Homo-oligomer: A and B are copies of this chain.
Amino acid sequence: MRSDDPADVTDRSAELLEVLRERSPLVQNITNAVATNFTANVLLAIGASPAMVDIPTEAEEFARIASGVLINLGTPHEEARAAMPATAQAARASDTPWVLDPVAVGALPVRTTLARELVALRPTIVRGNASEILSLAGFGEGGRGVESTDSPEGALDAALSLAREHGAVVAVSGPTDVITDGRQVMRVSNGHPLLTKVTGAGCALGAVMAAFASLESDALVAAIAATSVYTIAAELAAEKSSGPGSFAAAFVDELARIDADTVRARMAVA
């Protein structure tokens, strides 16, 4: 497989979905209060096994047995702040892939300091919106709270810089997701605007990336596969929805139903 060949990446993404369903990777989440329930339901739907283990001593111990780890800064409460660096170090030490989602970095002080500390611990994947990636790379001031005020293409140089400095894959979410390992730049154009109307949808994608990264050592391919499966499910759900409430339920249904053939047929990576 060549990770810069869209056809190869599409085939591998479809294959990884089947592998995920067989292995049911155990994904540990230190995530925010808003997204925790939705994230667990998304992981269950796609076929992974969620564990929300986020307090000191438990979190770092669990990172050694988890298949993958998500660390999300959405609502960084005291015990989670204390658990995050130790968990990242334990994940790295035990070769557990881990994903950093630096929610609202730059816009808010506590998480900005914490995000800079965590990114130095070499996450496998950094997932964020354009404003967050710009800020984490030191290129900008951050968006309006959790909102991005920049476009993924506008954050490409920041993503490349971040990827090269920390040896991470960087995934910038937007209408077209831009994903890079610091050398190759790939774009995924699947998705639907309703996904932006479901709180925690981006946060839960970070957990799905951790699941795929536990199955595929090329983190660029893992991030592309996770993004594609997730956003194709959003397209399918939108066809069956009357608004963001019915969409959220239909999206979870589609994550449970989507198969490899559907991924091959609909995946729009370039």
A residues at B contact (CB < 8 Å) = 26, 28, 32-38, 40-41, 44-45, 49-55, 57-58, 61-62, 65-66, 74-79, 104, 107-111, 144-147, 196-200, 241-246, 248-257
Contacts and interface: CB of A to CB of B under 8 A. Distances in A.
Nearest to A241: B253
Contact of A76 (B55, B196, B198, B256): B55
Contact of A109 (B36, B58, B107, B245): B58
A233 to B, nearest CB: 10
Copy number in the complex reads 3
Contacts of A257: 242-243
Nearest to A77: B79
B145 A41 contact: no
A254 B243 CA distance: 7
Given A52-B75, A108-B53, A62 B145 contact: yes
A33 B52 contact: yes
Contacts of A62: 107-108, 145
Contacts of A242: 250, 253, 257
Contacts of A38: 37
Nearest to A245: B252
Contacts of A53: 75, 104, 108, 145
B245 A45 contact: yes
B245 A58 contact: no
A75 B33 CA distance: 11
A97 to B, nearest CB: 17
A199 B55 contact: no
A110 B256 contact: no
B50 A199 contact: yes
Contacts of A32: 52
A49 B145 contact: yes
12 contacts: A26-B147, A33-B36, A34-B37, A44-B196, A44-B199, A45-B244, A58-B109, A61-B109, A242-B253, A243-B254, A243-B257, A249-B249
